[in-house]
Amino acid sequence: MGGKGMWTKRRMGAASAALAVASLVLSGCASADGVAGQVGSAGYIAGDGVVTEIPVEERTAPAPFAGELIEGGEFDSASLDGVALVNFWYAACPPCRTEAPVLAALHAEFGDRVDFIGVNTRDGAAQAASFEEEFGIDYPSLLDDTTGEAQLAFSGLVAPNAVPSTIVLDAEGRVAARISGAVTDTSILSTLLQEELER
């Protein structure tokens, strides 16, 4: 963790860095407007490959958020209990497809100790459910396309065009870390989650 008064950043490991170089254009997705409109028809923004960790004394909780789940029913962030992982994604985003198996593996490892919640920023329920089935995602995701409530809750940390993005919440529900761009292996997130579980 970083020193007092500063956010610390650490680069992903060598294996991740190699993958990031090999697929730079797939490091982040963007919406069809905004910044994406400035980078051409591909609609992608390269992720920076940086993990931002927030010192405990500087952490703040996101605003409450809620929404309809892909599988039906409702989600409320008040139900998160302890350390949590929040992942922003949508089905047609290639880096989201790249990281989906990694997140599924992390959930298999940590799911009994960490709450996982996806935030789908663009799709309808059928398209999102098809993605989850294809990649074996068995943690819930909420549909945020219509309301943008979850995106607003993390405004300042996750821009609407910064997908995929992954946020780790500590045991008190405060933002502990953020990964901007695709998670290409389990090592960094495993370390971040373990640190918060042991804190």
Taken in order of first residue, the domains within the chain and their CATH numbers are 8-198 (3.40.30.10)
DSSP string, 122-190: S--HHHHHHHHHHHT--S-EEE-TTT-HHHHHTTTTS-TT-BSEEEEE-TTS-EEEEEES---SSHHHH
- pLDDT category, 156, cuts 50, 70, 90? confident
- Pairwise pLDDT comparison (50 vs 87), residue with the higher score: 87
Q: What is the pTM of this model?
A: 0.79
Residue 77, token pair as written in the block: 């962030």
- Pairwise pLDDT comparison (165 vs 46), residue with the higher score: 165
Give the pLDDT confidence of 55-103 residue by residue, as tens digits.
Answer: 999 999 999 999 999 999 999 999 999 999 999 999 999 999 999 999 9
